A and B are shown apart, each in its own frame.
Chain A
C-alpha cells in the first residue's frame, strides 16, 4: 500500500511525531511504501537541526533524517507554517525540504491512505 503521513505536532510535547516515525518504520518493514511525510502546524519543528535532546533520549529530528535518507522518503515541511516558527533553509535537517501546502493535497490524492498524527 502507498501511505502518505501528516505530522501535526512537534517533537517531545506530543507523541504524534514518535507515533508517525514508528508507523513509517513498521510500514516499510512490512513492504509498504511511504511516499511522503508532510509536516504541518508545530510539526515543522521536527525538521529543526538545532534540536539537541539529552544524549540518553531519542533524537526525533535525527531519526527522521536517517529514515528518509535510507529509504528515500520525501519529507516536506510546510513553508508558511515553517516561516512562522523560524524553520528556514539554514536550520533544516538533512533529508527534509521546504515546500507548499499543495504537496499535502497532492499526497492525499496520490496515496492510498493519508494517515494523520496529531493531537
Chain B
C-alpha cells in the first residue's frame, strides 16, 4: 500500500465539468461517470454536467433495459437536483444529429451550441470525461 497523500482542500470551491460522451449501455462509462458526479456533489463544488455525442442518449426518457440484462440507471439522473446539481447541458448539434428534441429528456437541461460548449469547457478548473 502506498502512503496516502493529505491535501488541504478546506474552503476551496472549483468549477468541475463532467463531460458525458458515451451511450448509456454497451460500455460502463456512463454509469461510472455518474457515480463520480454524485461523489463530487458531496464536496460542495461548482458542478456542471454536459451531455455530448452519444452521451445525449443517457438522459432519454423511457429507457427499458430488460431485454439486454443491464441495470437501468437512468432514474438516478433525476436525483441530481436533490444534490444541488442543476447545471445540466446538452450540446445542440449532438441532440439534433440523433433526432432528439429538448422534451425527449428526463431531466431539465439547457441546450447549448458547440461554440457555447467550448466556452463552458474553457471556463472550468477541472474537466472529467467519460
Residue numbers of A with Cβ under 8 A of B are: 6, 8, 35-36, 40-41, 68, 72-76, 80-81, 84, 92, 95-97, 99-102, 104-110, 114, 116, 118
Contact = CB atoms under 8 A, between A and B. Distances in A.
B12 interface: yes
Given A105-B40, A109-B12, 8 more contacts: A72-B3, A92-B1, A97-B2, A99-B4, A100-B39, A102-B39, A104-B39, A106-B7
A70 to B, nearest CB: 12
Contacts of A109: 7, 9, 12, 14, 43, 45, 126
Nearest to A84: B28
B15 to A, nearest CB: 10
Interface of B: 1-5, 7-9, 12, 14, 16, 28-29, 32, 35-36, 39-40, 42-43, 45, 125-130
A96 B2 CA distance: 5
A1 B42 CA distance: 27
A118 B4 contact: no
22 contacts: A6-B128, A40-B36, A41-B28, A41-B32, A73-B2, A84-B28, A97-B4, A104-B128, A105-B36, A105-B40, A106-B7, A106-B9, A106-B43, A107-B7, A108-B125, A109-B14, A110-B7, A110-B8, A110-B9, A114-B128, A116-B128, A118-B130
Contacts of A40: 32, 36
B59 to A, nearest CB: 20
A81 B5 contact: no
A74 B5 contact: yes
Nearest to A68: B2
Contacts of A104: 36, 39, 128
Contact of B14 (A96, A100, A108): A108
B35 to A, nearest CB: 6
A36 B43 CA distance: 18
Contacts of B9: 106, 109-110
A81 B32 contact: yes
Contact of B45 (A97, A105, A114): A105
